[in-house]
């Protein structure tokens, strides 16, 4: 499957589809191309390098399509792994509870170094509003974009 990384990068104004953080550059070099609906390639990590050298089927081949691809920062993509979206959402919501067990978190909270806020449970791509003029988000290559929102 041929992927246009610049087109995927521009989908949400050059931001990660989950956390909304700015992706490093418009070439998509410091971006992961994420499957919104998981593909699930279940294999031991020791085999990952050899996997990309030859085609191997996946558990959900119907999800291996261009419409299912999203721009993601590496951290979000690695954390999401092959989780379905709702499971990933629940994992993120549970982050504070997981942190509360760590001594350094407890100390930072006691000394007022961090402030805990409830997350609304909405990913960036779910609240993204497409700009009226796509050129404002990507002047350099907006003429060639074929993105549907």
Model confidence pLDDT, tens digit, residues 7-29 = 999 999 999 999 999 998 766 57
* Whether the predicted pLDDT of 82 surpasses 60: yes
Domain that includes residue 51, residue range: 5-84+123-144
- Alpha carbons 145 and 11: distance in angstroms, whole number: 10
Does a structural domain hold residue 68? yes
Question: Domain count of the chain?
Answer: 1
In this prediction, residue 124 carries a pLDDT of: 97
Q: How confident is the model at residue 133 (pLDDT cuts 50, 70, 90)?
A: low
Per-residue pLDDT for 77 more than 80? yes
110 lies in some domain: no
**Burial (CB count within 10 angstroms: exposed 0-12, middle 13-18, buried 19+), residue 82:** middle
Q: Is residue 34 a part of any domain in this protein? A: yes
Residue 15 included in any domain: yes
Q: Is the pTM of this model over 0.85?
A: no
Residues 105-109: what's their mean pLDDT?
95
User: Nearest to residue 60, comparing CAs of 36, 76, 44?
Assistant: 36
CB within 8 Å of 149: residues ≥ 6 apart: 11, 130
Average pLDDT, the chain: 80
Q: What is the pLDDT of residues 24-46, one digit of tens each?
A: 876 657 899 999 988 876 655 55
Q: What is the DSSP letter of 87?
A: H
Q: Is residue 24, in this structure, part of any structural domain at all? A: yes
């Amino acid at each position: 499957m041929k992927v246009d990384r610049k087109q995927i990068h521009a989908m949400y104004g050059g931001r990660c589809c989950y956390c909304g953080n700015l992706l490093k550059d418009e070439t998509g070099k410091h971006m992961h191309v994420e499957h919104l609906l998981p593909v699930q390639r279940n294999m031991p990590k020791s085999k990952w390098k050899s996997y990309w050298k030859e085609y191997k089927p996946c558990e959900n081949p119907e999800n291996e399509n261009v419409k299912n691809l999203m721009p993601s920062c590496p951290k979000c993509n690695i954390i999401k792994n092959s989780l379905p979206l709702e499971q990933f959402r629940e994992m993120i919501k549970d982050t504070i509870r997981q942190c509360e067990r760590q001594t350094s978190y407890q100390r930072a909270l006691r000394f007022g170094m961090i402030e805990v806020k409830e997350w609304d449970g909405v990913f960036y791509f779910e609240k993204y509003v497409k700009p009226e003029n796509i050129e404002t988000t990507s002047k350099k290559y907006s003429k060639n974009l074929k993105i549907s929102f």
